Amino acid sequence: MKAILGLSAFYHDSAAALVVDGRIIAAAQEERFTRIKGDPGFPRHAVDYCLRETGLDAANIDHVVFYEKPFLKFERLLETYLAVAPAGFSSFIKAMPQWVHEKLMLPDRIRSGLDQKFAGRLIFIEHHESHAASAFFPSPFEEAAILTLDGVGEWATATLGHGRGNRITLSHEMRFPHSLGLLYSAFTYFCGFKVNSGEYKLMGLAPFGAPAFEGLILGKLMDLREDGSFRLDLSYFDFCAGLTMTSRRFERLFGGPPRRPGSPITRRECDLAASIQRVTELVMLRMAAHLHALTGSRRLCLAGGVALNCVGNGRLLRELPFEKLWIQPASGDAGGALGAALFVWHQLLENGRVPQKPDGQRASLLGPGYPAGETEALLREKGAAYRLFPGGRGLCDAVARLVAGGKVIGWMQGRMEFGPRALGARSILGDARNPEMQALINLKVKFRESFRPFAPIVLGDRAHEYFELNPDEESPYMLLVTQVRGNKLLASAADEAAAPATAAEGGRAAARDGGAAGLDRIRKIRSVVPAITHLDNSARIQTVDRDRNPKLFELLEAFAALTGCPVMINTSFNIRGEPIVCTPDDAYRCFMATHIDALVIDDFLVLKEQQVAGTAPSPEAYLGRYGND
Ligand SMILES: [Fe+2]
């Protein structure tokens, strides 16, 4: 038996992954255990969990592999700072002591993180090799083209490659500072959202705007070539020298200073979001088209933070000659831990690989699960009123009735997801048909901006009835955006999609919305499933199949039998700024502090109305702990 532990750490989203004899056994992000969003520290808890899952000790691990090469990254930082000195001197002074200490001492830190029990050789592989390995090795393909796109690792910011059998080859790369991820993050920063976590907010904002700045971005900020590679005009940015992302010149080009976090979102931010989204899609399309021409492959694997851009992914599948697409669900740097471990097993140790169906990612349910006895003991200790459905019999019918009755459900089942999306193991569920649900869950459960759309879960075999997806296509990891079918749209929404809102309309809406740039347009009923239909009639869908998610499948079937509708809202089980819940205790606390009506933990059902008043923490106290995202 050979056990390989993959680690990513010390930047953001630290994680650990364990691969035993080529099989992915466990993977989890440190933030879920420490409850610190994006925790960058050594993933001690995640490592402990991975070892627990197999009963191994760090001394039994054969190889420990880190997801990037610290010396290459150090070289990049040093060269970058020297190139822009003295402009970059202040951030150089600030960053270097930390770097020297943390990165160059990395082997020591890893060994002490493993309590000095690991005696083997530490392996460091390149950041984009980790991403590429995470994209190809778990995929169901014997052969595929590979595209990785992110902010930056050591030097590479995008790579093109190819995988066959147990080997990947990266043949082309684009290098720092020319980076699609950093360009997107610059707009995230400029629009007042947090870099490295607010990118998906910017993506959600895009349909509210018009791509009015697309020409400026393409004309001024970058020189984009036919093959999708580009060079940025660095005078508009500050990520080489400064502590902000954008320069004064950028501000002049886009009409003033960045939006202050927390201040009202205006038409400008919506238009910037729409514009950078279009540019991102254009770069993704050109790079992937070039990759297709280079490899001739009919299958494409994607990873890197940009691969979480579901709208771009949807266009790759629809507009390019690739027939099949597989995207690593943990496409950010957390997934690098998994890719690194698989890279060692297949590429360095030269072990064969038999592609698995539907894939090797095991529904991405790679985190901890909790025994029923532990959950019951917790509920007793909390004095909770609960009901156990032995063997789960009758549970899904009961929950389906609650959902149909307008209740919001905290749904925790089995092992936790690996990756940023809740896929039905740690989810909040609601009725997608209910026009009030979108605002209700955003404001009273998540305590967040009301413009944020929700994603649907849908029975896989009925997805094509509601969404523009072929009957044989799936989206098990919620990484594709597709359109709601015309026959499910209300007539007015179908017309509107054909003629997008003008700036003047946006302005009127903004006035009505207290200057919030027409964000209340999201409340308009556009389809028979309004809570998950975005402004442009799109939806970020997750198809649910019996093999990967048997309980969730059963719930959707029960709901469909009751209502005729095989679609529900699925959003992550947390509030704004909080890591997704991990343990039954996390789930119970989040349930009690918010307006979630019912909590399901495996076969236990807890109804809010049956709990004793006054035992819950106040929402304010809970928000105070997490809600400063
Ligand atoms: Fe990355």
Q: Could you read off the pLDDT of 348-405 as tens digits, one per residue?
A: 999 999 999 999 999 999 999 999 999 999 999 999 999 999 999 999 999 999 999 9
Residue pair 41/34 in contact by the 8 Å Cβ criterion:
yes
Which pLDDT tens digit goes with each residue over 64-93? 999 998 877 777 776 766 665 555 556 666
Band (pLDDT 50/70/90 cuts) for residue 443 is confident
Which H/E stretch holds residue 76?
helix 70-84
Distance 132 CA to ligand 1 centre (A): 10
- Tell me how far the alpha carbon of residue 333 lies from the centroid of ligand 1, in angstroms: 5
CA 597 – CA 230 distance, rounded (Å): 50
Query: Which of 91-105, 151-165, 595-609 has the highest average model confidence (pLDDT)?
Result: 595-609
CA of 184 to the centre of ligand 1 (A): 14
pLDDT digits (tens, 9 = 90+) for 541-561: 999 999 999 999 999 999 999
Q: List the structure tokens of 471.
A: 């009957």
SS (H, E, C) 183-197: HHHHHHHHCCCCCCC
- For residue 147, the CA-to-ligand 1 centroid distance in Å is 12
Say how far apart CA 77 and CA 538 lie, in whole Å. 40
User: How many whole angstroms from 100 Cα to the centroid of ligand 1?
Assistant: 21
Residues ≥6 apart with Cβ < 8 Å to 266: 259, 510, 515, 517
> 607 falls in which pLDDT band (50, 70, 90)?
very high
| 581 Cα: distance to centroid of ligand 1 (angstroms) | 24
Euclidean distance between CA atoms 479 and 404, whole angstroms: 26
How large is the greatest C-alpha to C-alpha distance in the chain, in angstroms? 69
The alpha carbon dihedral of 31, 36, 39, 43 has a sign of negative
What sign for the dihedral angle of Cα 278, 284, 285, 286? positive
Ligand 1 mean position to 12 CA, how many Å? 10
In the reported structure, the alpha carbon of residue 182 is separated from the centroid of ligand 1 by a whole-number distance in angstroms of 11
Q: Where are the alpha helices (DSSP H) in 450-529?
A: 463-466, 491-498, 503-512
Q: What's the pLDDT score for residue 523?
A: 76
* Span from the CA of 128 to the centroid of ligand 1 (angstroms): 7
Expressed in angstroms and rounded, the spacing between residue 606 Cα and the centre of ligand 1 is 40
Percent above pLDDT 70 for the chain: 90
What are the Cα distances from residue 212, in Å, to 305, 422, 537?
A: 25, 33, 20
- Span from the CA of 385 to the centroid of ligand 1 (angstroms): 45
Please give the structure tokens belonging to residue 580. Answer: 């997704």
- The total number of residues written for the chain in this structure: 629
Distance (Å) from CA 302 to ligand 1 centroid: 12
Q: Tell me what the mean pLDDT of segment 402-430 comes to.
A: 97
Q: Closest Cα partner for 293 from 325, 323, 321?
A: 321
29: CA distance to ligand 1 center in Å?
15
Distance in Å, CA 304 to ligand 1 centroid: 5
Distance CA 31, CA 27 (A): 12
Residue 257 has pLDDT above 70, yes or no: yes
45 CA distance to ligand 1 centroid (A)? 22
Q: How far is the CA of 157 from the centre of ligand 1 (A)?
A: 8
Question: If you measure from the C-alpha of residue 156 to the centroid of ligand 1, how many angstroms do you get, rounded to a whole number?
Answer: 9
Residue type, 150: D
Ligand 1: distance of its center to the CA of 172 in Å? 16
Q: Ligand 1 centre from 467 Cα, in Å? A: 31
Task: Identify whether the C-beta of residue 529 lies closer than 8 Å to the C-beta of residue 432.
Answer: yes
Q: In the predicted model, what is the mean pLDDT of the chain? A: 90
419 Cα–ligand 1 center, Å? 13
Higher pLDDT, 301 or 94: 301
pLDDT-derived band at 197, boundaries 50, 70, 90: confident
Q: Using the mean position of ligand 1's atoms as its centre, give its distance from the Cα of residue 91 in Å.
A: 22
d(CA 360, ligand 1 centre) in Å = 21
- CA 339–ligand 1 middle distance (angstroms): 11
**446/577 Cα distance (integer angstroms):** 9
Which helix (H) or strand (E) covers residue 127, if one does? helix 127-136
Quick one: pLDDT at residue 407?
97
Round to whole Å and give the CA distance between 305 and 575: 22
CB 302 within 8 A of CB 141: no
**119-154: string of b/e by CB count within 10 Å (b at 16+)?**
eeeebbbbbbbbbbbbbbbbbbbeebbbbbbbbbbb
Please tell me the least confidently modeled range out of 227-231, 240-244, 332-336, 590-594: 240-244
3-state secondary structure of 239: coil
Q: How many Å lie between the centroid of ligand 1 and the Cα of residue 243?
A: 20
- For residue 200, report the distance from its CA to the centre of ligand 1, in Å: 16
- Mean pLDDT check: name the lowest of 58-72, 91-105, 272-286: 91-105
Show the CA angle centred on residue 153, arms to residues 30 and 183, nearest 5°.
Answer: 105
CB 312, CB 283: distance < 8 Å: no
User: Is the Cβ–Cβ distance between 278 and 214 less than 8 Å?
Assistant: yes
Work out the average pLDDT over 166-193. 94
What is the 149 CA–ligand 1 centroid distance (Å)?
A: 8
238 or 46: which leads in pLDDT: 46
Alpha-carbon span 595 to 446, nearest angstrom: 9
Give the C-alpha distances (Å, rounded to integers) separating 257 from 180, 261, 474, 594. Answer: 22, 12, 42, 36
Sort 62 into a burial class: Cβ within 10 Å, 0-12 / 13-18 / 19+. Answer: middle
pTM, full prediction: 0.92
Give 282 Cα–ligand 1 centroid separation in angstroms. Answer: 20
pLDDT band for 505, please (50, 70, 90 cuts). very low
Cα–Cα distance measured from residue 90 to residue 81, given in angstroms and rounded to the nearest whole number: 10
- Quote the ligand 1 centre to 305 CA distance (angstroms): 6
CA of 407 to the centre of ligand 1 (A): 39
What is the predicted pLDDT for the residue at 496? 66
CA 130–ligand 1 middle distance (angstroms):
9
CA of 105 to the centre of ligand 1 (A): 21
Read off the pLDDT of residues 577-586 as tens digits, 9 standing for 90 and up. 899 999 999 9
SS3 573: coil
List of residues 6+ apart from 249 with CB closer than 8 A: 235, 236
